Amino acid sequence: MKNLVKSSIILVSVILLVACGASTKLTSSWKNKDMGTNHYEKIAVVAITPNNSSRYLIERALVKDLTAEKLKATPTYEIFPFAGKMGEVVSKSENPEALKERIKAKVNEHNIDALMIIALLDQQKEERYVNNNNFYMGGTGYYGTPYMGTASVGIGGPYAYGAYYNYYAYSAGTAYTSGYYVEDVTYFLECNLYDVAKEELLWSARTKSVNIGSVEEEAVKFANLVVKDLIAKKVVIP
Residue-by-residue pLDDT tens, the chain, 238 positions: 444 334 333 333 332 333 344 588 999 999 999 998 999 999 999 998 878 899 999 999 999 999 999 999 999 988 876 655 555 555 555 567 777 888 889 899 999 999 999 998 888 888 776 666 544 444 443 333 344 444 444 445 454 556 666 666 666 665 556 666 777 889 899 999 999 999 999 999 999 998 888 889 999 999 999 999 999 999 999 9
What is the residue extent of each domain of the chain?
Answer: 26-121+188-237
Which top CATH class is 26-121+188-237?
A: alpha beta
Cα distance between residue 62 and residue 75, in whole Å: 8
Instruction: Enumerate the β-bridge partners of residue 149.
Output: 136, 156
Cβ neighbours of 204 (radius 10 Å): 17
Reduced to 3 states (helix: H, G, I; strand: E, B; else coil), residue 110 is coil
Instruction: Enumerate the β-bridge partners of residue 188.
Output: 122, 208
